[in-house]
Structure 1
Amino acid sequence: MIETKTGGCQCGRVRYSAKVDPAKAYLCHCRMCQRATGGVAAAFVQARCDEVEWEGEPDFYASSPIAERPFCAHCGTPIGFRFTGSGDHMDLTIGSFDDPSDFVPSSHAGAESLHEAWLDTSSLPRTRTDEIPKLVEKWRSVGRDVPE
């Protein structure tokens, strides 16, 4: 079901609203997405370019001869991916949405570079950020609680 969702970068300079289907998110494992996000995969959802409204325009990096990636040049947040030229769709990073909890991955792309060990991590121990004393201490030293 198509919903309007909002998002933006870490510092707030780039903001957007987009009509997307949270049930059609996907993971891209290609090496370009790994490098662009610094992760083992990029989590995306596709949107029509004319259904993405920018409030604070992103910067764009020509990541290859066929594509460019919107990002915030101030804080470095990766915002998405789109083909150059006449493409009418773009992908937005799930992590840049204000509330990414509704998104559910439905497929994998770039499977040639997929790292199997990172797919099912459900058996690994889990620690909440507020359970790491050194990190809690750092936040408290600047007069703040650990952000969610």
Structure 2
Amino acid sequence: MHNINNKSNYTEEYHLNGKPNNIVELYNELKKQILKIGEIIFIIPRQKYIAYKVSNNFKGTFVNITFQKSGIELNLCFGKDSYGNFKRKYQNNDMIKRWNDKYNYCVMYLKKNNELDKIIPLIKECYEIRKRDLKK
């Protein structure tokens, strides 16, 4: 089950409006691959980003997506307990552009479809971490 929670006025279309076709196509392929990761994923468009969650609560976010002029920014979210291990494991990954130690996430940029093969496994790992954390 994939649920687009639209309690606000914001939609995926709101975020994609006016974006170049290559960015829209890239997002659609990214979305398709993210939705293959798990059975229950919530897509929650917010004012400045689109959140993908394992549950419909604050702790369930595993990736936030924002749109840039030339690509897509992804904030991969981990629980506080898992952040350190994830950071050690991927410290030298060239796809990760920066780490946010205060809020336990890393930032990646997606510009081409061929980068999806490097990014999707990390998103999947974040999904599994957040799913596991919710069971605690």
TM-score when scaled to structure 1? 0.28
Q: TM-score, normalised by structure 2?
A: 0.29
Q: Which has the larger Rg?
A: 1
Q: Greater share of strand residues, 1 or 2?
A: 1
Higher helix share: 2
